[in-house]
């Protein structure tokens, strides 16, 4: 794919080093027993599949963007999706993808440069993809969807790992006189609906969820995120202004701050993952349309009277 943001000079347009992201995901996919870090992705993949099952139709052709090892596909059935295309930036992740009962084609591609024609897919799903320019991402999804097609996705929210980020920032300010990001930035929930609407989606649904995981301490959090979980997800920080390392004294201070500010009564520390789920439909003339303004026959002021009317009707 074109090397979007291939140099620091283009960081104003794309804040992420996408070549580094590809290397991170390929490295993570080759680690011993990579499935140990997949607990959250598998959980979220199952919840996305549940949302697909809520739609009473069969999708002839579906696309999974940022599929990784097939976290969504393993929960879907061939009665719901007849054929699936999995796309990921890392070829090693696709090579290690879990088997599915659905006929599947795997394609190595960048989600910002999807190699498909417009109006190709009936369904597009995406789960906890690596950071990218969200406006470009949703526009690409809208382009490849057929009319009346649906996009169902999940991404990490803005409050993800707030305990870790706050602890590292306070420790760096204290020991080094400043701080730099060590976790990639995430989208705010208030921006999601606007992004989807600007891309052309309608009948939008956005909801949030939180999953909290407890660890013995900060070093175990970092090990899981850097060596297992985050790198396997491809979510370690790849922004151009990232800092290459943390000093030992800073890490020790951050561990103490983490325990003091967020520690549980049993001595463990929590790590919070905020998940945003979104559903958007591509316009088709057959879709239900909102009634014209002023056509309502009941006033919102009458809502307070409903309970009394129901009781009267029962009598």
pLDDT of residue 253 exceeding 70, the answer is yes
User: Left, alpha or beta for 68 (phi > 0: left; psi -120 to 50: alpha)?
Assistant: left
Look at residue 160 and tell me if it is in a domain.
Answer: yes
User: For the residues 37-61, what does the mean pLDDT come to?
Assistant: 91
What is the domain count for the chain? 1
Residue ranges making up the domain that contains 223: 35-285
pLDDT at 36: 66
Look up tokens 């990232």; give the residue. Answer: 242
Which whole number is the average pLDDT over 176-191?
72
> CA 302, 303, 304, 306 torsion: positive or negative?
positive
121 close to 149: Cβ distance less than 8 angstroms:
yes
- Contact, 211 vs 40, CB < 8 A? yes
What's the start-to-end Cα distance of the chain, in Å? 69
CATH number, residue 69: 3.40.50.150
276 — pLDDT class (breaks 50, 70, 90): very high
Give the total residue count for the chain.
315
Q: Is residue 150 part of a domain?
A: yes
The stretch 307-313 carries a mean pLDDT of 74
Give the dihedral sign, CA 156/25/20/255: positive
Q: What mean pLDDT do residues 272-294 have?
A: 87
Q: Does this model's pTM top 0.85? A: no
Whether 25 is in a domain gets the answer: no
Q: Is 114 among the domain residues?
A: yes
What digits encode the pLDDT tens for the residues 74-113?
999 999 999 999 998 888 778 878 888 899 999 998 877 8
Nearest to 278 by CA among 211, 212, 213, 191: 191
Specify the pLDDT at position 45: 92
Kindly give the interhelix angle for 248-262 and 162-176, rounded to the nearest 10 degrees.
130
Higher pLDDT, 286 or 76: 76
Mean pLDDT of 255-264: 95
Q: Determine contact, residues 277/155, Cβ cutoff 8 Å.
A: no
Give the number of other CB atoms < 10 A from CB of residue 233. Answer: 24
Domain-embedded: residue 219: yes
Mean pLDDT of the chain: 80
pLDDT at 233: 39
In whole angstroms, give the CA distance from residue 260 to residue 257.
5
Residue 252: the pLDDT is 92
Report the candidate in 186, 218, 181, 227 with the shortest Cα–Cα distance to residue 24.
227
Q: What percent of the chain clears pLDDT 70, i.e. is strictly above it?
A: 77
Per-residue confidence (pLDDT) for residue 28, from 0 to 100 = 65
| Alpha-carbon span 150 to 62, nearest angstrom | 10
Query: Is residue 139 included in any domain, yes or no?
Result: yes
Confirm whether 233 is domain-assigned.
Answer: yes
- pLDDT given at position 150: 97
Instruction: Average the pLDDT over 129-140 and give the result.
Output: 73
Average pLDDT over every residue of 267-279: 94
- pLDDT above 50 for 3: no
Tell me if 203 is assigned to some domain.
yes
| pLDDT for res 232 | 36
Q: Which comes out higher in pLDDT, residue 158 or 5?
A: 158
Q: Which residue has the higher pLDDT, 303 or 264?
A: 264
Please, which residues have CB within 8 angstroms of residue 178's CB and are 6 or more apart in sequence? Answer: 172
pLDDT tens, position by position, 205-243: 999 999 999 999 998 888 777 644 343 333 444 444 455
Highest mean pLDDT among 27-41, 169-183, 210-224, 228-242: 210-224
DSSP annotation of 114 reads -
Helix (H, G, I), strand (E, B) or coil at 169: helix
The residues that bridge with 150 in the sheet, in sequence order, are 123, 281
Q: Name 1's Cβ contacts closer than 8 Å, sequence gap at least 6.
A: 109, 110, 112, 113
Q: Residue 14 above 60 pLDDT?
A: no
pLDDT at 181 (0 to 100): 64
Residue 4: its pLDDT value, please? 40
Give mean pLDDT, residues 114-128.
94
CA neighbours closer than 13 Å in the CB half-sphere of residue 126: 26
Compare 275 and 191 and report the one with higher pLDDT.
Answer: 275
Compare 184 and 103 and report the one with higher pLDDT.
Answer: 103
Please report the DSSP string for 79-118 in residue order.
TTBS-EEEEES-HHHHHTPPP-SS-EEEEE--GGG----S
> For residue 212, what are the β-bridge partners?
272
């Amino acid at each position: 794919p074109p090397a979007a943001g291939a140099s620091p000079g283009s960081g104003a347009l794309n804040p992420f080093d996408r070549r580094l992201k590809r290397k991170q995901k390929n490295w993570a996919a080759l680690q011993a027993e990579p499935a140990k870090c997949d607990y959250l992705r598998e959980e979220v993949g199952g919840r996305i599949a549940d949302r697909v099952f809520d739609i009473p139709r069969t999708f002839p052709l579906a696309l999974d963007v940022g599929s990784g090892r097939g976290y969504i596909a393993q929960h879907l059935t061939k009665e719901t999706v007849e054929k699936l295309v999995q796309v990921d930036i890392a070829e090693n992740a696709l090579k290690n993808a879990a088997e599915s009962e659905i006929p599947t084609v795997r394609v190595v591609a960048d989600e910002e440069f999807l190699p498909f024609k417009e109006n190709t897919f009936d369904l597009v799903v995406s789960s906890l993809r690596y950071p990218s320019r969200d406006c470009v991402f949703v526009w690409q999804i809208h382009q490849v969807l057929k009319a009346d097609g649906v996009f169902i996705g999940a991404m990490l929210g803005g409050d993800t790992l707030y305990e870790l980020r706050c602890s590292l920032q306070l420790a760096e300010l204290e020991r080094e006189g400043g701080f730099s990001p060590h976790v990639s930035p995430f989208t705010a929930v208030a921006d999601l609906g606007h992004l989807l609407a600007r891309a052309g989606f309608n009948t939008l649904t956005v909801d949030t969820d939180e999953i909290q995981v407890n660890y013995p301490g900060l070093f175990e959090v970092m090990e899981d995120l850097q060596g297992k979980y985050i790198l396997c997800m491809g979510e370690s920080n790849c922004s151009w202004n990232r800092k290459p390392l943390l000093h030992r004294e800073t890490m020790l201070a951050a561990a103490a701050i983490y325990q003091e500010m967020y520690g549980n009564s049993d001595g463990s520390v929590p790590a919070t993952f905020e998940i945003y789920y979104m559903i958007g439909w591509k316009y088709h003339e057959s879709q239900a349309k909102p009634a014209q303004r002023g056509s309502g026959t009941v006033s919102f002021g009458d809502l307070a009277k409903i309970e009394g009317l129901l009781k009267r009707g029962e009598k």
